[in-house]
Structure 1
């Protein structure tokens, strides 16, 4: 989710939004459903399963959509949810903030719609819905889904603590909740502990600066680790460390990447590089940044690879063929769990349809395709 005023003036924004709404209305079918498209992007591969891409959609416009890459045919299918679930109210909803697969179910966290839609992993048919106010991210552990919640109205500067909801993946009922910091974001599980980034993003400059640690057995917060302001992403490596991004204050405190030792629950290292998001595969963390500055009124884009085993930066860019110059606003990243392909999304100006890029492990472009509005979050179907 991004603040559109960072990019363009209010006057131009209104003009663009009006044009976008008119364009969308013209493209809708008589039943109100935006038709999807199918694009041949790769060669058929019957040995690997496909993946879903959740497009966030602009806030307040109910434009979140779900795409699917069918590896068996090499065809990329856009906006499949509305076609498969034509009776769903307001289609997928308002701001798709995260997506994850656990067992036979696909969980789509729809932030401003205050819900988690649960779909069948293979058919994308809607199974059920979990109501969670201002929900943000989802992760899984021992038959349970864990969803972070701001527990507040959008943009409420006086909002108090958020919480994590524990959901039974069989019944889709909320079992327990635990209070954490203000505006909790992404989570990662290491051993029997849950690590949550607290942002405090609704009340700048009074940001949060801690990672909450929750014991998964008692479901109690056992510690808060002081890290940095305005935390966001949390990713675990295979060595027992957790990587946490700080977004800074968008003025003089810059974005940065931190490493937490989960044995001692302390910050053990940091990297002086901007980090909006990262994906870890093996010993490599692929990092990108689109760091916004209110001083310059623009994003600064960068890429890097970090070796998580020895905690050193390997390279300043993982895109090696120059295509990075075409990407205006990198917004999502994933690494193919089977062949190491790198997927990067471009949200462009947050108004027009975005683009999904597929790069080889060597950083060479394989293909690209038009996605939905603000393409962001991936879920690979396991074999």
Structure 2
């Protein structure tokens, strides 16, 4: 073997070992703390919950948890804390912390799981068929349901007293309602009509929270999904289009008039706010290929100010972005990766300037994140 070949092999082996070592350090799957885990970060943040959706109809949704004080990262955390509950259920679809409780919407198991936000201890369940997303105001939670409570087949929103954990009212909205947001004491519901493709719904249902009566509907665009309120009290709602001729976009609604004041032709799959910025990613399937895009929108000007939310090296590492959450304290952010949707996913944590800080292996299809403060 000649000298040049030996040198080439040495370089290859060194590079291979470096890549493997880096991967093991950044994506350690251990449940207990080790030198390769996240360094303890005592401060205002107590922890981060990740709801892993699991495979459809496989009853394997799960909860992951990062303890910031110790650096410990746990998978299957719900089962560890609640060994007698028989698991979290089938297809986790939303996760929120409100007051002192953690709420997980478990779609195919047809209930909302209620836990203590600091311990993840089971506190109760609320049965809601085909439940999707949850929102809160005062002493009430609101949950969208694809199920119909009327002959016309439209979905509804259940109103829940969070103290008694009882459903106290229901209201019919559009077809297959998804996310909700609150502004000006009104509940805004994004209707998708996903079960009725290609005849998707195109409306946002507006409900007065005092009377719990529908005010009207705002026509926005087909197949609506995400809907969020920014610090300027403007509502951002995404349209997924029809996956053929109608392209995705995001619209901005002024809740003082309930009129659309802007529309940006951007494919946004999920979004999160930090001060005057909106962080987003979009996944598009074209010609058999998957293209992921990332960016930042200035919510004051309502214009894209950057297409580099994360640096290009880390961008190519993420296969299937599936959730995003900004830390409101410093602008750092988390992105989950569902990978091939059959393997355990990943959680990436980035600094405010888009540099990767660490990565952890999660459960199957991680998609929903909630930070818990002390």
5+ residue gaps in structure 2?
A: 1-28
Residue of structure 2 in register with 1:17 after alignment: none
Please list the CA deviations of residues 282-327 of structure 1 after superposition, one character each: whole Å capped at 9, or x if unmatched: 100001011235xx23332111100001111101120025201011
Taking the aligned partners of 2:291 and 2:152, their CA distance within structure 1 comes to: 30
Task: Say whether residues 1:66 and 2:72 are aligned partners.
Answer: no
CA distance in structure 2 between the partners assigned to 1:352 and 1:203 by the alignment: 30
Question: Is it true that 1:245 corresponds to 2:238 in the alignment?
Answer: yes
**Distance in 2, Cα, partners of 1:38 & 1:139:** 33
**Greater Rg by CA:** 2
Q: 1:264, CA displacement in angstroms? A: 0.8
Return the alpha-carbon distance in structure 1 between the equivalents of residues 253 and 39 of structure 2: 41
- Across the aligned residues of Structure 1 and Structure 2, the Cα RMSD in angstroms comes to 1.7
The separation in 2 between residues aligned to 1:100 and 1:377, in whole angstroms, is 8
Which residue of 247, 260, 273 corresponds with 1:267? Answer: 260
- Aligned partners of 1:382 and 1:140: how far apart in 2? 18
Deviations 1:113-156 (A, max 9, x none): 00000011111110100000000001110011111111159xxx
Q: Distance in 1 between matches of 2:112 and 2:32?
A: 26
Match of 2:300 among 309, 332, 335: 309
The residue that corresponds to 1:371 in the other structure is 362
Structure 1 stretches of at least 4 aligned residues deviating more than 3 Å after TM superposition: 38-41
Query: Normalization by structure 2: what TM-score?
Result: 0.88
Residue among 197, 217, 222 paired with 1:204: 197
Q: Which residue matches 1:299?
A: 290
Deviations 1:150-188 (A, max 9, x none): 1159xxxx9711111111111100011111001000011
After TM superposition, list the pairs within 5 Å mapping 1:142-221 onto structure 2.
142-151=138-147, 160-221=153-214
How many angstroms apart in 2 are the aligned matches of 1:252 and 1:180? Answer: 26
- Judge conservation of contact 1:343–1:356 (CA < 8 Å) in 2: yes
Q: Partners of 1:297 and 1:137 in 2: how far apart?
A: 30
Number of aligned positions between the proteins: 342
Corresponding position of 2:128: 132
For residues 228 and 141 of structure 1, the distance between their equivalents in structure 2, rounded to whole angstroms, comes to 26
Q: Which residue of 1 aligns with 2:351?
A: 360
Compared CA separation, residues 255 and 274, structure 1 to 2 (3 A) = same
Instruction: Name the SS for the 2:195 alignment partner.
Output: coil
Out of 86, 92, 95, the position equivalent to 1:96 is 92
Partner of 2:311: 320
Cα 1:353–1:286 shift into 2, 3 Å: same
State yes or no: 1:86 paired with 2:83: yes
Matches within 5 A, 1:216-231: 216-231=209-224
Shift in Å, 1:193: 0.5
Q: Give the distance between the partners of 1:116 and 1:361, measured in 2 at CA.
A: 33
Unaligned runs of 5+ in 1: 1-34
Distance of aligned partners of 1:300 and 1:125 in 2 relative to their CA distance in 1, 3 Å threshold: same
Matched residue of 2:194: which SS?
coil
Aligned to 2:335: 344
Q: The residue matched to 1:323 in structure 2 has which SS?
A: helix
Alignment check: 8 A CA contact 2:148 2:156 kept: no
What SS does the aligned partner of 2:40 have?
Answer: coil
Name the SS for the 1:197 alignment partner: strand
Query: 1:112, 1:299 → 2: CA distance?
Result: 27
